Amino acid sequence: MVATVKPIPAASIPAMWPLLREGLASVRDKAAPDLHFDLVHDRLIASQAFLFLIPEGFFILMPLHRETPAVLIWAAYSKGRGAIRLYLPVIESLARDIGAEQLEFESDRPGYRRVFRDWQRTGQRYIRRLT
């Protein structure tokens, strides 16, 4: 099965915001209590973070410019199951395309320890080197 991913331009964020806010509320409630909607909105509008739609929901990626270039999977929302397995290769490819050397993900949700067991974990942050 080929993963369908649609990048959304910053100019389209205001029209999509009500739908995104609903998904972000679910993410915040389940896995990211410190997720601030205004900050997400502002970074998407400023093209500092990037929205990608999938048939089941969306994910938001944010490049991290530091000694080791990285991409943060800032938020990911899906109404279905199996989205991580299906879309992670696409996310890795997008990160490599911009020169990132690693992916990062942060959550206090215990179930992610099992899902990301092959990632390096420091506290609530999961890191995966891209080869």
**Does residue 1 have a pLDDT over 60?**
no
Single-letter amino acid code for the residue at 53: L
Give me the domains of the chain, ranges plus CATH numbers: 6-129 (3.40.630.30)
Please give the residue that has the higher pLDDT: either 2 or 29: 29
Please give the residue that has the higher pLDDT: either 1 or 50: 50
Nearest to 105 by CA among 77, 87, 128: 128
pLDDT tens-place string over residues 21-77? 999 999 999 888 889 999 999 999 999 999 999 999 999 999 999 999 999 999 999
Structure tokens belonging to residue 120: 């390096």
- Please report which helix (H) or strand (E) contains residue 23, including its range: helix 13-30
Report yes or no on whether pTM surpasses 0.75: yes
| CA 78, chain centre distance (Å) | 11
